[in-house]
């Protein structure tokens, strides 16, 4: 009988503690989606190229498809589900809705996470800095101009 070599992985996600039984090679993306049920973390290329799976890890946007779940132990993970507070959407989420920063919406959670990482470090970015902040986010719908506008408008709200 094959002995299970699964590991208990302790994660802190959106302020809550989780313990999951994961394969040693299991990626953080799969653990967040399949074990914890955070389906807002999207699976795209699974090669670190599209940014659909982006999360904040200790405040830094990272691609969860490129990271082993175990490597995230002891770090603070924020997913798109963790941005709304007390039933209120985050200003970035509000702005993406108001300024049509999405079409199909598949890239949107990763894009908003990238934008949050940017605004946390640089509360008043230029248009160019926002564009550069999306360099790791592929939007097949070509919504970039409206995504940039959404971030710039959210920055105004956040710094008002």
Question: Which residues have a Cβ under 8 Å from the Cβ of 98 and sit 6 or more positions away?
Answer: 150, 153
CB under 6 A: which stretch of 12-20, 45-53, 67-75, 89-97 binds ligand FES?
A: 45-53
CB under 6 A: which stretch of 3-11, 17-25, 80-88, 97-105 binds ligand FES?
A: 97-105
Residue 54 CB, nearest approach to ligand FES (Å): 7
Distances (CA, A) of 144 to 35, 47, 108, 109, 156: 32, 21, 11, 14, 19
Instruction: Note whether 45 binds ligand FES by CB under 6 A.
Output: yes
Q: Which of 18, 48, 76, 129 binds ligand FES (CB under 6 A)?
A: 48
Instruction: Note whether 106 binds ligand FES by CB under 6 A.
Output: yes
The nearer residue to ligand FES, 14 or 63, going by C-beta atoms, is: 63
Q: Which of residues 125-154 bind ligand FES (CB under 6 A)?
A: 139-141, 143
Helix 144-159 / helix 108-121 crossing angle, nearest 10 deg = 40
Q: How many CB atoms lie within 10 A of CB 60?
A: 11
Across the strands, what pairs with 62?
55
Alpha-carbon dihedral sign for residues 40, 42, 48, 51: negative
Residues interacting with ligand FES, by CB under 6 A?
43-46, 48-53, 63, 65, 102-108, 139-141, 143
């Amino acid at each position: 009988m094959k002995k299970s070599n699964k590991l208990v992985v302790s994660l802190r996600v959106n302020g809550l503690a989780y313990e999951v039984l994961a394969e040693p090679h299991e990626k953080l993306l799969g653990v967040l989606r399949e074990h914890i049920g955070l389906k807002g973390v999207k699976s795209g290329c699974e090669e670190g190229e599209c940014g659909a799976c982006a999360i904040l890890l200790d405040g830094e946007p990272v691609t969860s498809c490129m990271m082993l779940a175990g490597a995230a132990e002891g770090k603070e993970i924020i997913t798109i589900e963790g941005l709304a507070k007390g039933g209120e959407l985050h200003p970035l989420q509000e702005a993406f809705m108001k300024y049509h920063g999405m079409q199909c919406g598949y890239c949107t959670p990763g894009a908003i996470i990238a934008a949050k990482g940017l605004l946390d470090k640089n509360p008043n970015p230029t248009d160019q800095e926002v564009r550069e902040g999306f360099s790791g986010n592929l939007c097949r719908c070509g919504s970039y101009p409206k995504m940039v506008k959404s971030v710039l408008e959210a920055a105004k709200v956040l710094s008002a």
